[in-house]
Amino acid sequence: MMARPFWMRLFRPEPVRAVPGVHAPAGPAAPATELDLRMMARALDLAREAAAMGEVPVGAVVYRTATGEILGEGFNRREVDKDPSSHAEFIAIQRACAAARDWRLNDCTLAVTLEPCPMCAGLIVNARIGRLVYGADDPKAGAARSLYTLADDRRLNHRAEVITGVRAEEAAGLLRAFFRDLRRGRGV
């Protein structure tokens, strides 16, 4: 089969492929624990709070992996804060660091209803988060699996354990309902 001419690649980007030695092996990740499921329920509640404020519904919780102690919570507040960094998990991580009096969160898990964006995946690495548990994939901005694999890229100096698809249908359902209502409100 002939290679596609370069100009065709401009129109249809190559699918993202795992690079051996760079990306984590594609083998099955450890399953979510009972504690993870409880924390995701809390993150979903936080996402609903965001929706009630007219914000895109995403919620996040940072907790100690061993004990379940919650160190920080957050939901998306981009509109109310007028701040592009006011993502649910960004806020939750900042609060967790303040509570822990430490910028390193190796012994913590972040549960977030939507796959983190590049900014938040970068913060997960910089904060040395031990585990990332997320709900719905984000094909448009996801940087943990969908577009990039920043949270466990072997080239970076820290890798989180990544667990995907936890209560994904509910997380995605909240987002779908939010955007449907938004379109109705605008009469489109």
Binding residues for Zn ion, how many (CB under 5 A)? 4
Which residues, in sequence order, are CB contacts of 12 under 8 Å at separation 6+?
A: none
Q: Residue 9 or residue 85: which is nearer to Zn ion going by CB?
A: 85
Interface residue with Zn ion among 32, 40, 91, 117 (CB under 5 A) is: 117
Interface residue with Zn ion among 56, 62, 91, 120 (CB under 5 A) is: 120
Which residue, among 85, 93, 97, has the nearest Cα to 110 in the 3D structure?
93
60 binds Zn ion (CB under 5 A): no
- The reply to whether 89 belongs to the active site is yes
Rounded Cα–Cα distance for residues 27 and 25 (Å): 5
56 binds Zn ion (CB under 5 A): no
Can you read off the two tokens belonging to residue 40?
């995701």
Can you read off the two tokens belonging to residue 77?
């507040």
Which residue, among 95, 54, 56, 98, has the nearest Cα to 74 in the 3D structure?
95
Q: What are phi and psi of 123, to 5 degrees?
A: -65, -35
Least Å distance between CB 107 and Zn ion?
22
Q: Residue 29 or residue 119: which is nearer to Zn ion going by CB?
A: 119
Which residues, in sequence order, are CB contacts of 138 under 8 Å at separation 6+?
A: 114, 115, 117, 146
77 binds Zn ion (CB under 5 A): no
DSSP, collapsed to helix, strand or coil, labels residue 80 as helix
Residue range at the interface with Zn ion (CB under 5 A); choices 98-106, 118-126, 147-155, 170-178: 118-126
Which residue, among 70, 73, 68, has the nearest Cα to 46 in the 3D structure?
73
Active-site choice (49, 55, 69, 89) = 89
Q: Residue 35 or residue 128: which is nearer to Zn ion going by CB?
A: 128
87 binds Zn ion (CB under 5 A): yes
Residue range at the interface with Zn ion (CB under 5 A); choices 103-111, 116-124, 130-138, 153-161: 116-124
Least Å distance between CB 88 and Zn ion?
8
**Which residues bind to Zn ion, rule: CB under 5 A?**
87, 117, 119-120
Active-site annotation, residues: 89
